Amino acid sequence: MAAPPSRARADYDYLIKLLLIGDSGVGKSCLLLRFSDGSFTTSFITTIGIDFKIRTIELDGKRIKLQIWDTAGQERFRTITTAYYRGAMGILLVYDVTDESSFNNIRNWIRNIEQHASDNVNKVLVGNKADMDESKRSAKTNLNVEEVFFSIARDIKQRLADSDARVEPNAIKIGQQDQADGSAANAQKAGCCG
């Protein structure tokens, strides 16, 4: 027995996979912790490989389960983290507003997306550490953290709803045949599958 489609489960209407990418130290993990747990820590621990959190939100009358993957920004983990691009429905490109090089490196991160992610992936650019003074880490004030996650989730939900509503004109449906081609289909069926 096949599992029901991901959007047909009882505890949520949509499952959305998001990916946080950007240079090491820009605050990806702090953003995720702030959004998923509502907490903030000043300690800095480098993400090893990849980590994730789940949060279910209510959006436009639908329950959206967000699976948010937090990637390591260090070069040595790129082969691991790029494997997660393909399944992502949305990507948050994070840079540190106090570190110009992290912003300049966004070009490289976009190239990674172009190489490894789906063509229709939603993207959003996130400037982090707007509250920064030299001794503190960001996502501290929770400024627009909720809004950025809700915004990309809303865009993806709309894209998924639009694609569900669209009927593919060239789709082939197994087990159904066109009434006009009934005799040709039956002849072909007898010839190939006996």
More confident residue, 124 or 44: 124
Which amino acid makes up residue 193?
C
Do the strands 122-128 and 50-59 form a parallel or antiparallel pair, or are they unpaired? unpaired
Asked if residue 89 belongs to a domain, the reply is: yes
Mean pLDDT of 165-191: 51
pLDDT digits (tens, 9 = 90+) for 104-137: 999 999 999 999 999 899 999 999 888 766 544 4
Asked if residue 180 belongs to a domain, the reply is: no
Which amino acid makes up residue 97?
V
pTM value? 0.68
Question: Which residues neighbour 53 within 8 Å (Cβ) at sequence distance 6 or greater?
Answer: 32, 33, 35, 36, 37, 68, 70
Mean pLDDT of 21-32: 87
Which amino acid makes up residue 153?
A
Asked if residue 177 belongs to a domain, the reply is: no
Print the domain residue range for 132: 6-165
Whole-number Å distance between alpha carbons of 13 and 160: 11
Mean pLDDT of the chain: 76
Asked if residue 35 belongs to a domain, the reply is: yes
Residue 167 has pLDDT above 90, yes or no: no
Confidence at residue 47, expressed as pLDDT on a 0 to 100 scale: 58
Residue 194 has pLDDT above 60, yes or no: no
Asked if residue 100 belongs to a domain, the reply is: yes
Asked if residue 13 belongs to a domain, the reply is: yes
**Both tokens of residue 190?**
């007898």
Residue 184 has pLDDT above 50, yes or no: no
More confident residue, 83 or 116: 116
Residue 139 has pLDDT above 70, yes or no: no
98: nearest Cα among 39, 40, 138: 138
Confidence at residue 73, expressed as pLDDT on a 0 to 100 scale: 57
Domain count, the chain: 1
Residue 29: in which H helix or E strand, if any? helix 28-37
Whole-number Å distance between alpha carbons of 8 and 64: 12
Confidence at residue 38, expressed as pLDDT on a 0 to 100 scale: 66
**H-state helical runs in 83-181:** 100-104, 106-116, 145-165
Of the pLDDT bands very low, low, confident and very high (cuts 50, 70, 90), residue 187 is very low
**Both tokens of residue 120?**
């229709």
Asked if residue 192 belongs to a domain, the reply is: no
Whole-number Å distance between alpha carbons of 105 and 140: 24
Asked if residue 172 belongs to a domain, the reply is: no
Residue 123: give its domain's CATH number. 3.40.50.300
**Both tokens of residue 162?**
């639009």
**Both tokens of residue 168?**
């593919």
Could you identify the residue written with the tokens 């959305």?
Answer: 16
Of the pLDDT bands very low, low, confident and very high (cuts 50, 70, 90), residue 18 is very high
Confidence at residue 89, expressed as pLDDT on a 0 to 100 scale: 94
Confidence at residue 189, expressed as pLDDT on a 0 to 100 scale: 47
28: nearest Cα among 135, 117, 118, 149: 149
Residue 153 has pLDDT above 60, yes or no: yes
Residue 163 has pLDDT above 90, yes or no: no
More confident residue, 168 or 52: 52
